[in-house]
Structure 1
């Protein structure tokens, strides 16, 4: 059986050819601000780095700006929060299963934590229940977490209800941790908003949304004969593709989708949560780099 973590590491290795691995590690390390740190090494300054981290003596010797990098003296805890309901068995905007994108995102963040000596746990589930795997260190443990998510998302699974998993975190997870939430395009609600504000008062939270497939087929799709019917994995209702041939229906769909997205963004923003979105697994590493960078700048 192919290792899920090996796929993650391969994706990160490809990314490292385009951007320095140290930049991604550095952004992860910046999440827990104010923790006890020990000096690790120096690297070249890149735009966006904190000026206070420049080593001026080393810069003078080297002739170009160098940044001090640090390692944590004590371990932190990363809690992966994953929706494993059947909503995540749907197709993403890039045309691949949302589950595959979620596993990649959880794997990249978990591997960054592993490289920093942090421990990683998992809270996952659906409307029928929530399961917790306690935080531990090591690649074998991380592989187990990824397999749990990968095998848990099925069309036969109960419907998604992320509020239940977040409520479980709020009730049971003690101390200040980093929560990394990978979710479907959840709808904004007063219940979710209150829950997020409660969680944000205790934890650092990063949120990644896996975007839905585009259901409004374009006129070109219909002309080419590539437009088809869809069905909702949430309730298995048929979504006839020919409805999108109506300009009024397509416009109404686009408007409703934009309003739902704006409401979700506003809810996360008001709770002080740093958020990002991905359409496919090929975007995961760059999206997480941007997410971590935004979180550092927001702090």
Structure 2
């Protein structure tokens, strides 16, 4: 009989965090949507006579012209888990833990918190070959299905990673405001990603979780490493060359700086996870920073 993935997540939450920490994590999640008597529906252009208090200043600044929020009757929040399940997630993380396990735990915890609060939960996940979408629903059985999908999809047999395709799918198909929880590795964000995130940030609240790649140079680097896309060895003896190490470090720093610049401009808070053990404290800090930034 298969062990429930929801039960596994709940068990790890109990093991990795004492009661007070779990309560605080639950409280930080609840603060994301607390205090709304009306629910955001969409944005439209400002017209004379609109209430000044309904202007969305952040969205207006991004677009360059005033936008006002329209609201619908109150309902529970919709949480949309967005994941890259390409074979890049079959690699190991900074700690040596499989990146897939970190992704599964992080989204499992966020999904479990959403379930505890009665929120709707949806999934958009995939690779360069296909995108799978699970519609928003409530309930533990639905969360279990989502986690099973994530577990079976991310692996060495998957197609290449393609986060851009998942972001584009959300931009095309999700009409109502939600909380997007995006999990990706340290892949570079390009101009298309930036344009998609700019569009999504106007409509949704976004939490970004980066799963840290393994170090390929330095003392923490594995003795042998291989590219999960093609199986070719990475760096090898070249990692001992000072020039290679320097250029590799510069490339990684530039990639990180670009991602930070894009996310900071859009007001998207990022959390970085290098191991399964870092998931709970990392998510707590992420939710806390998101609450303070609102």
Residues 241-269 of structure 1: CA distance to partner in whole angstroms, max 9, x if unpaired?
22221222212212211111111111111
Q: Is the deviation greater in 205-214 or in 9-18?
A: 9-18
Q: TM-score, normalised by structure 1?
A: 0.82
Query: What count of residue pairs does the alignment treat as equivalent?
Result: 258
Gaps of 5+ in 1: 38-72
Alignment partner for residue 226 of structure 2, among 228, 231, 239? 231
Residues 4-39 of structure 1: CA distance to partner in whole angstroms, max 9, x if unpaired?
2122111211344164432111111121254139xx
Matched residue SS, 1:201? helix
Residues 47-102 of structure 1: CA distance to partner in whole angstroms, max 9, x if unpaired?
xxxxxxxxxxxxxxxxxxxxxxxxxx731110000111111111111101111100
Q: Give the equivalent residue in structure 1 for 2:22.
A: 21
For 1:232 and 1:272, locate their aligned partners in 2 and report how far apart those are by CA, in whole Å.
33
Q: TM-score, normalised by structure 2?
A: 0.83
Q: Give the equivalent residue in structure 2 for 1:296.
A: 291
In the TM superposition, residue 273 of structure 1 has moved relative to its aligned partner by: 0.9
Query: Closer, same or farther in 2 for the Cα pair 1:13/1:262, shift >3 Å?
Result: same
Q: Give the equivalent residue in structure 2 for 1:135.
A: 136
Q: Give the equivalent residue in structure 2 for 1:169.
A: 170
Q: Give the equivalent residue in structure 2 for 1:183.
A: 184
Q: Give the equivalent residue in structure 2 for 1:277.
A: 272
Tell me if the contact between 1:117 and 1:137 (Cα under 8 Å) persists in the aligned partners: yes
Tell me if the contact between 1:181 and 1:206 (Cα under 8 Å) persists in the aligned partners: yes
- Please list, as runs of the form range in 1=range in 2, the aligned pairs for 1:236-255 lying within 5 A after superposition: 236-255=231-250
Tell me if the contact between 1:206 and 1:273 (Cα under 8 Å) persists in the aligned partners: yes
Q: Give the equivalent residue in structure 1 for 2:262.
A: 267
Gaps of 5+ in 2: 39-73
Query: Closer, same or farther in 2 for the Cα pair 1:14/1:36, shift >3 Å?
Result: farther
Query: Closer, same or farther in 2 for the Cα pair 1:227/1:160, shift >3 Å?
Result: closer
Q: Give the equivalent residue in structure 2 for 1:124.
A: 125
- Please list, as runs of the form range in 1=range in 2, the aligned pairs for 1:200-215 lying within 5 A after superposition: 200-215=201-216
For 1:19 and 1:4, locate their aligned partners in 2 and report how far apart those are by CA, in whole Å.
24
Q: Give the equivalent residue in structure 1 for 2:70.
A: none
Q: Give the equivalent residue in structure 2 for 1:155.
A: 156
Tell me if the contact between 2:89 and 2:98 (Cα under 8 Å) persists in the aligned partners: yes
For 1:297 and 1:74, locate their aligned partners in 2 and report how far apart those are by CA, in whole Å.
23
For 1:93 and 1:4, locate their aligned partners in 2 and report how far apart those are by CA, in whole Å.
24
Output the aligned Cα RMSD: 1.8
For 2:35 and 2:255, locate their aligned partners in 1 and report how far apart those are by CA, in whole Å.
36
